[in-house]
Amino acid sequence: GAVVSQHPSRVICKSGTSVKIECRSLDFQATTMFWYRQFPKQSLMLMATSNEGSKATYEQGVEKDKFLINHASLTLSTLTVTSAHPEDSSFYICSAAGTGTHPYGYTFGSGTRLTVV
């Protein structure tokens, strides 16, 4: 079945530095990638949607200059948290749709726990 590999699973970084999170589709072409943020015991909140080769569409309230999304190929999308601060600490999950995925649902990565100290 369709698999999305997300790395790293955990990362700790210092305040002011940048962190890159990668999501790779292993056996399908991810034409669309969704990036979510999840706080403890809360639901998934959509941050942005990206289509391969196009600029990402950000949800209201999400800073596009802080959360840089690149979807330059059909198998790789990245989320870079720039100048991270403690309030950016959260769980980030990607979800992909494309050829080879389930026709109705989307395939999720395993998530990245970001801690900014």
Pairing of strands 10-13, 112-116: parallel
89 binds other proteins (CB under 8 A): no
49 binds other proteins (CB under 8 A): yes
102 binds other proteins (CB under 8 A): yes
Nearest residue (CB) to other proteins, 14 versus 41: 41
Nearest residue (CB) to other proteins, 45 versus 74: 45
What ranges make up the beta strands (E) of the chain? 4-7, 10-13, 19-25, 29-38, 44-51, 57-58, 67-73, 76-81, 90-99, 107-108, 112-116
Residue 4 has which token pair?
């999305």
In the complex, which residues of this chain contact other proteins (CB under 8 A)?
A: 32, 34, 38, 41-44, 46, 49, 57, 91, 93, 95, 97, 102, 104-106, 108, 110-111
